[in-house]
Amino acid sequence: MNQENQCPPQTNPFKPEPARIVRTYYLTEDVKFFQVRIADMEKALSFRYKPGQFAMISVLGAGEAPFSISSTPSRPGLLEFCIRKAGVVTDALFRLKENHLIGIRGPYGNGFPIQNMKNHNVLIIMGGIGAAPLRSVLLNCLDNRDQFQKVTLLHGAKRPAEMIFRDEFFDIKDREDLECHLSVDQDDTGEWSENIGVVTTLFPKMEKIDPQQTYALVCGPPVMYKFVLQELLKLKIPRDQILMTLERRMKCGVGKCGHCAIDYIYTCLDGPVFTYWDVLHMRELI
């Protein structure tokens, strides 16, 4: 019985890394942009992730929650998040100013299958806050433009003022290597120059693409999925090439706390990116 007390393991997957808020500003009335750098420079640069993965962010005194990473791994060093005010943790986050410390750990989840998507068309359809995870994959495609065939972006918001990353998307809209259509459900400003209507009204405006050679990436509010999926099936995009990223409550991100369990799988380990086939196949996904 002279067993030594065991040393704590080298890495504790639950231990957040201190990170500093570099920039933060409002994107819309209830969505804020956060640019964050892990305080330890070496760790900041070695934080490798894939588009579609997420990180756990903690605010001391409020708690911890999962957030999609909105920045692209092709621009290392800084992490960006696009966060909607929705609960205790986000309320606390919104009160924090630049230079404040938060906790961060990750990246977690499967992310988008970028390797498989190479040499294919990439069709990105985002609605509202769905821009948060899809901006990562969009910027990644644009930064590695020669690795992909046609890149198309369809982005819908309720009103012009609610369009997340509006300025950024207007900036890239005129790129020749990107087909970009923006739409709002209603224009209450009278100054909206783009399409008016739900995001599905953008489909007829799209140039024809070879569906077998296309990956479609969808993220948005629950109501959007039904109609967008119908359009994608009409285009004859295979169901296992339609990718969606899902939201669940999580307390750990590493498959232990159980909150994100669906059937056999844990959203944090096996997701959050699922194919439409997975969604049809598994219950309760959306």
Partner 1 sequence: MRIVKLKQKNLNPFLEVISENTELWAPVRKYTDRHVFAQVEDVSQIDVDYTRTILPPRKIFLPPSFNMFTATEKEYKENFSHATKKILFGIHPCDIHGLLIMDQFFNYVFEDPYYTQARNNTLLLGHSCWPDEHCFCKSTRTHIIEEGYDLFFHRLSEDYLVWIGSSKGDDLIRLMPDCFEEKLSDEDIQFYIRLREQRNEAFQTEVNFTAMPDLMELKYNHPLWEKIGTACLACGSCTNVCPTCNCYNVMDHPQLKERGSLIHRDWDTCTLQSYSEVAGGENFREKRSDRLKLWYTHKIQAYISKYGKPGCVGCGRCIATCPVDINVKTVSQALDGKDVDAFWNRLNKGEIK
Residue numbers 264-283 binding partner 1 by CB under 8 A: 264, 269, 283
The smaller minimum CB distance to partner 1, of residues 8 and 204, is found at 8
Residue of the chain from 240, 249, 277, 281 that contacts partner 1 (CB under 8 A): 249
Does 65 bind partner 1 (CB under 8 A)? Our answer is yes
Specify the pairing of strand 101-108 against strand 17-26.
antiparallel
Does 159 bind partner 1 (CB under 8 A)? Our answer is no
The smaller minimum CB distance to partner 1, of residues 75 and 95, is found at 95
Does 257 bind partner 1 (CB under 8 A)? Our answer is yes
Does 118 bind partner 1 (CB under 8 A)? Our answer is no
Residue of the chain from 62, 198, 206, 235 that contacts partner 1 (CB under 8 A): 62
The smaller minimum CB distance to partner 1, of residues 5 and 193, is found at 5
Residue of the chain from 43, 84, 118, 173 that contacts partner 1 (CB under 8 A): 84
Which window, 4-12, 166-174, 207-215, 231-239, contacts partner 1 (CB under 8 A)? 4-12
Cβ count within 10 A of residue 282: 15
Distance (Å) of CA 142 to CA 6, 171, 193, 249: 49, 13, 24, 31
Shortest distance, CB of residue 194 to partner 1, whole angstroms? Answer: 27
C-alpha closest to that of 17 among 53, 58, 67: 58
Does 64 bind partner 1 (CB under 8 A)? Our answer is yes
Residue numbers 193-232 binding partner 1 by CB under 8 A: 222
- Rounded to 5 degrees, what angle do the CA atoms 12, 13, 18 make? 85
The smaller minimum CB distance to partner 1, of residues 78 and 257, is found at 257
The site for partner 1 (CB under 8 A) is made up of 1, 3, 5-6, 8-9, 12-16, 18, 58, 60-65, 84, 86-87, 90, 101, 103, 222, 247-249, 251-252, 254-259, 261-264, 269, 283-284
